[in-house]
Structure 1
Amino acid sequence: MNNQQFSVISNTSNYWLKNAHVPVCLIETDSEIPSQTKESLSLINIEIKQGIITQIIHSSADLPSLTTEDIPTIDLKGGMVWPCFVDMHTHLDKGHIWERSPNPDGSFNGALDAGARDAEKYWNAEDVYRRMEFGLKCSYAHGTKAIRTHIDCFGEQENISLQVFQTLQKEWEDRLILQPVSLVTGDYFLTQAGEKLADKIADIGGILGAVPFMSSDVDNQLDKLFSLAKERQLDLDLHIDENGDPNSRVLHKVAEQAINHQFTGKIICGHCCSLAVQTPDKVTETLKLVQESGISIVSLPMCNLYLQNRQDNYTPRWRGVTLLHELKKQGISVAIASDNCRDPFFGFGDHDVLEVFNMSVRIAHLDMPYGDWPGAVTKTPGDLIGLPNIGRIRVGLPADLILFKGRNFSELLSRSQHDRIVLRNGRVIDTTLPDYCELDDRCRLGFATQHEKR
């Protein structure tokens, strides 16, 4: 399978994709999808007309249109087809600063310090725009359709970064759905500046976000946060317990506040790492509250694996991720996302959600069986961020699909799938990734500063 095969449809918008292996959990149809493989895949044919999925039939059935019309057919030979990705927790404004502001010791505190210094020195409108745009180019080329990004909003940075976000949101509206989330510490909302930020987020149709740390006034912070969100009818998306301290139980407190406030908006809690090092009794207690409160969890396995439990000359003893299987077993919605990319919090990444899924399978044992885990980077995050028609394959939806050569999960996750084909509205898009040299002038800012220090 390659782009040349799709030259046959360059002059038509009606065609069949034949013999496509698709995770059954990502197919929505009124009729039963038979013949699942042991990996819960089904071999199907997909008809696309005018950019819309018009038929989904099992591969053993005849292709009805071929009997009456001369419609091109592309045989995928068992290659997997997924809907476009939903990356529901990113930090586009931080991305691609590693060369000028690396994390000196790889720790969480080191990341905080390096990120803060970089923002103070360099984050003007041009810098934020260029780096965020680079991230969007990567995401789009890899097959992502919707992105939720947390944006640092302390002080004057609020106006700079949110304005850049709105510019990019408009420029990319025909390619990517973008959602903004404020990112400040929880105590910021106890100030007048925090209330003004909540007003701003409401004005631009964003989501209220914060990082409430375990402290003596965490209850006051959360109470204020829920009150502001209720008054402005905002959803919440919070960074919670991103550490390995068993006494950090902010997730438990968020659930309590949600119940006390009878909060009806959506609540997403990201990270929740400390849950994995707490006692079974405390875990059970928290999971019951999380389920009762309607909170959903997004895990960021790559970043948490990188940062958590890092110490000098010490081999990490745990993986840093939250209790994905236990949360899901409790009936709590769980999604997976990419988080940071080439910044002090994670020095790697390319905004490729397939890589995120690939690494998550290994880190959190999401195989044996794979079950409906493919939904954690497609269908589930689509639902959680209010996009119920994205991240699934259904008749009547746009043909926004990713076509892989890998015919099963072992093949899919053993190679990078850099040769994937991405369809948007049934058309093949250019999947050429932006060259790193596009950001050379931004990186040199840091090199110049480091040279001056020497």
Structure 2
Amino acid sequence: MLELVVRRARLPGAGPGPVDIGIEAGRIVAVATRIDADCPELHARDRLVLPGLVDTHLHLDKSRTADRCVQVEGTLAEAIRETARIKAAFTEQDVYERARETLEACVLQGTTRIRTHVEVDPAVGTRGLDAVRRLAADLAWAVDVQVCVFAQEGLTNCPGTDALLVDALERGAPVVGGAPYADVDPPGQLDRVFELARRFDVDVDLHLDLAETTDAMQLADVCKRTVAQGWEGRVTVGHVTQLSLLPPDEYDALCDLVAGSGVAMTVLPATDLFLMGRAVRAAKPRGVVPLAPLLARGAACSVATNNVLNAFTPYGDGSLIRMANLYANVTHAGSRTELDQCLGLVTANAARVMRTPDYGIAPGAPADLVCLDAADGADAVARIAPARWGLKRGRLTFTRELPVLHQPGALA
């Protein structure tokens, strides 16, 4: 017997008519024009219903720390330096409380799956990791949180960090990451990250090529390492601002290499726009990689939040629809097809990046749904449509009322 029916939902990429969605035991069991059932109902009222938004790159552990940092330069180096200064004082409870506020904001915006990058090093130890793991368990009723453990400030040059990474992986972290540009020996860090991935059989997600010139790019090396290790489909790179600065022929050649190696790419528009081009007084580089050429080659791609209210990005409300809209603005995506593609970067394509096999609205898929106040995907991105309600495994997780315009003389 059905436990819940969602009425009159418009699905992304579907025909013009709304459908009903039948849910039982936390999973979708039927999708049809009309489902006759005597059970509780949830009305979409001809609005867009998606299989939950997917954030592939978010830093919960250092979110909401902008008020603790001194920001004068606005550069990547300053953000790393300031965060390193303050995180020695992080306690597990401090991280938990800040991260919970951020994670709940994401849930209220319709996000149901997240990969969060958590730093370990001698300064913070595993306090951030312990807090985020506890938080993930506490909010598992609303969102799936996957942890990527990584070294933000260097690995080969930071004694003690390697042991902390190993400890986190032994405790079950499913993804290992790194930031080679912050290491004195970028190839050495990549050697170790891929070695750990092989040893623990985990995926790789790297902060890569975050700079304002095309010098010393690591992307081609990462693609070759991925193929050599047989890790195709299990490696993601984020930022890659340097790729956006290449001339077209070099850009296309690297797109071929990325797609051919099965490396996924995540663009982080809010952070990259904030950090890049600080020293340039005119024709500032945007640093946001246009993903359409990679998507055309079949690569897995996503747009994600990255940082919220900290030295790397002093903005953020957890809205992936807002992030898709920002990306659309920067990359000149204006047609309905292009805007639909932008929505895919925080839904189906983002799910590919996280290797989520059961993502979608179809019988057998988990009943993780979000209703947006929009008619279709293009409309949602163009207007930054608010989320009306969300489900996680068939259970209502949040609702949001729309604002009401009160005409003169109308009753309140």
Tell me the TM-score normalised to structure 2 length. 0.86
1:23 aligns with 2:12: yes
What corresponds to 1:39 in structure 2? none
The number of aligned residues is: 396
CA contact (8 A) 1:16 1:47 kept: yes
Amino acid corresponding to residue 267 of structure 2 in structure 1? S
Identify if the C-alpha distance between structure 1 residues 266 and 413 changes in structure 2 by more than 3 Å, giving closer, same or farther. closer
Structure 1 residue corresponding to 2:114, chosen from 144, 147, 153: 147
Structure 2 residue corresponding to 1:43, chosen from 9, 14, 17: 17
Q: Deviations over 1:338-383 (max 9, x none)?
A: 1000101111111121211222222223442234442211222223
CA contact (8 A) 2:47 2:375 kept: yes
Distance 2:287 2:363 in 1: 39
Distance 2:93 2:56 in 1: 25
CA contact (8 A) 1:48 1:399 kept: no
Identify if the C-alpha distance between structure 1 residues 235 and 405 changes in structure 2 by more than 3 Å, giving closer, same or farther. closer
1:361 aligns with 2:331: no
Q: Percent of aligned positions with the same letter in both sequences? A: 24
What corresponds to 1:273 in structure 2? 241
CA contact (8 A) 2:57 2:304 kept: yes
Structure 2 residue corresponding to 1:54, chosen from 23, 29, 43: 29
Distance 1:380 1:409 in 2: 14
Greater CA deviation, 423-432 or 374-383?
423-432
What corresponds to 1:134 in structure 2? 101
What corresponds to 1:338 in structure 2? 305
Amino acid corresponding to residue 4 of structure 2 in structure 1? N
CA contact (8 A) 1:86 1:144 kept: yes
Identify if the C-alpha distance between structure 1 residues 16 and 181 changes in structure 2 by more than 3 Å, giving closer, same or farther. closer
Q: Which has the larger radius of gyration?
A: 1
Amino acid corresponding to residue 289 of structure 1 in structure 2? L
Distance 1:116 1:76 in 2: 46
Which secondary structure does the structure 1 equivalent of 2:160 belong to?
helix
CA contact (8 A) 2:265 2:301 kept: yes
Greater CA deviation, 399-408 or 133-142?
399-408
Structure 2 residue corresponding to 1:386, chosen from 355, 375, 378: 355
Structure 2 residue corresponding to 1:261, chosen from 229, 233, 246: 229
CA contact (8 A) 2:220 2:254 kept: yes
1:377 aligns with 2:346: yes
Greater CA deviation, 233-242 or 195-204?
195-204
- Higher share of residues assigned helix: 1
What corresponds to 1:440 in structure 2? none
Identify if the C-alpha distance between structure 1 residues 128 and 215 changes in structure 2 by more than 3 Å, giving closer, same or farther. closer
What corresponds to 1:7 in structure 2? none
What corresponds to 1:79 in structure 2? 47
Distance 1:107 1:153 in 2: 22
CA contact (8 A) 1:111 1:344 kept: yes
Structure 2 residue corresponding to 1:329, chosen from 296, 314, 335: 296
Amino acid corresponding to residue 22 of structure 1 in structure 2? L
What corresponds to 1:296 in structure 2? 264
Distance 1:22 1:13 in 2: 21
Distance 1:114 1:311 in 2: 19
Structure 1 residue corresponding to 2:286, chosen from 311, 319, 338: 319
Structure 2 residue corresponding to 1:251, chosen from 196, 209, 219: 219
